[in-house]
Amino acid sequence: MEKLVSSRVNKQSVPESYVFPPEKRPGDVAVRTCNSIPVIDLGGSDQAEVIEQILRACEEYGFFQLVNHGVPEKSINDMMGVAMEFFEMPVEERAKLYSEDPSQVVRVKASIRYDNEDVHYWRENLRHPSHPVEKFINLWPEKPSRYRDVAATYSVEVRGVALRILELICEGLGLERDYFGDELSSTQVLSINHYPKCPDPSLTWGLQQHCDPNIITLLLQGEVSGLQVFKDGEWMGVEALPNAYVVNLGQQMQIISNGRLKSVKHRVATNSTAARTTVVAFIYPDKDSIIAPAPTLVDVKSSPLYRAFRFQEFVNTYTDISDDKETTLKHFKL
């Protein structure tokens, strides 16, 4: 239980096992949040314009915020509410679901890989599959009592937005609309991060820099910012916009688009004034699906940058401990 960082929140200082060596610490430098990632209005009437904005954001930033996405504010508030309640329960409740075994379907984990890392991250996490809902709902947490109902509704709604964005990306790239409609998006994972208030945010991280290994990610960051995105050699803070999704591309999208769209590294800083809870929906390919640059995006002018592989091979190669995004991708480069 002491592995769960919320059991340590009453500490006046950051425990040593969470303190990064000086050259890897956040330090006191504030990152800029002005000039941040593009904000795109999905409710805009000019669809061609929306597609162009999405494509440009995916090429230049690998990230954007989405407003007017159609998910009711109530669903978002309910989901954020049960997510926060889950981490406000006594730590003993969460400890029952704690596991270090990634094959455990529903699990709570601490940091990134508590038993295999040199320094720990200031984070707890709950994750479980969420599509199709009927297949997994009976395995989801029973507490808070509204969790299953709320997460079921939310999972269906967030999936709708994710698939819609994928269709728009396809239109923009000139792929068939449903290119991602089947096995390339068949797995969905709901992942809830909790970063308790931290006595000294200059010493530790919420999450190390990483690229998501999936197709596309939709994140709710509530009212507390902390996410930082790498752009033109600098880290940029992502402003917390109420009810907006922070959307970013996973590495499979970079590969399928043959490098045209970017999967960009990001990280999370902690903060000393408020706990932060984020609700993340990851869309993944089926383990057996074949990932490769889309044939129509490869021609004499742009030869394929990546080889074809089964997604399981990527999963076996990806390591969430490394902070270098090329570590995994280099195995798939041509």
Q: Which positions lie near Ni ion, rule CB under 5 A?
A: 212
Nearest residue relative to ligand OGA (C-beta): 278
Q: Does 7 bind ligand OGA (CB under 6 A)?
A: no
* Binding status of residue 193 toward ligand OGA by CB under 6 A: yes
CA dist., res. 242 & res. 221, Å (int): 8
Per CB under 6 A, 173 contacts ligand OGA: no
Q: 199-229 burial by CB neighbour count: b if 16+ within 10 A, else e?
A: bebbbbbbbbbbbbbbbbbbbbbbeebbbbb
With CB under 5 to 8 Å by kind, the binding choice for 277 among Ni ion, ligand OGA, none is none
Does 171 contact ligand OGA by CB under 6 A?
Answer: no
Among positions 124, 157, 171, 212, the unique one binding ligand OGA when judged by CB under 6 A: 212
Interface residue with ligand OGA among 170, 268, 294, 329 (CB under 6 A) is 268
Determine if 277 is a binding residue for ligand OGA (CB under 6 A).
no
CA distance 50 to 43: 9
Buried/exposed 171-186: b ≥16 CB within 10 Å, e otherwise:
bbbebeeebbeeebbb
The beta-carbon contacts of 310-319 under 8 Å, at least 24 apart in sequence, are: 311/252, 311/284, 311/285, 311/286, 311/287, 312/287, 312/288, 314/213, 314/251, 314/252, 315/213, 315/287, 318/213
Q: Is 157 in the site for ligand OGA (CB under 6 A)?
A: no
Q: Which is nearer to Ni ion, 80 or 246 (CB)?
A: 246
Q: Residue 219 Cβ, how far from ligand OGA at the closest point, in Å?
A: 6
Choose between 58 and 175: whose C-beta lies nearer to ligand OGA: 58
Q: Does 280 bind ligand OGA (CB under 6 A)?
A: yes
